[in-house]
Amino acid sequence: MSSTHFHDATAIVRHSMTTRLAGLARQVLTSLDRWQRRRQALRQLYSVDARTLKDIGMSRAEVTSVVYGGGEGRRRSHSET
């Protein structure tokens, strides 16, 4: 293998590693952002009184599951009163 081919191969590996690291950093930042938004939503929903929660179709017991689970498997639907 000539030195030119070696340098080309090294550049390709570096580019691949850089691309992978950038992707990993993006995933970490996306996850952190998602976590912060969910924590903010929890704080906001827990600060709302029970009557207002009922008006929007949820109980205090459902807040965490709605924020983290999207409300799937909820005991009642939003349309129930």
- pLDDT, tens digit, for every residue of 42-74? 999 999 999 999 999 999 999 999 998 865 655
Number of separate domains in the chain: 2
pLDDT band at 12 (very low <50, low <70, confident <90, very high): confident
Task: Kindly state the percentage of the chain with pLDDT values over 90.
Answer: 62
**How is the chain split among helix, strand and coil, in percent rounded to 5?**
75, 0, 25
pLDDT at 80 over 50: no
Task: Answer whether residue 42 is part of any domain.
Answer: no
Task: Answer whether residue 68 is part of any domain.
Answer: yes
7 lies in the same domain as 27? yes
Query: Which domain does 64 fall in, by range?
Result: 48-81
57 lies in the same domain as 79? yes
Q: Please give the model's pTM, rounded to 2 decimal places.
A: 0.64
DSSP state of 47: T
Task: Answer whether residue 13 is part of any domain.
Answer: yes
Task: Answer whether residue 5 is part of any domain.
Answer: yes
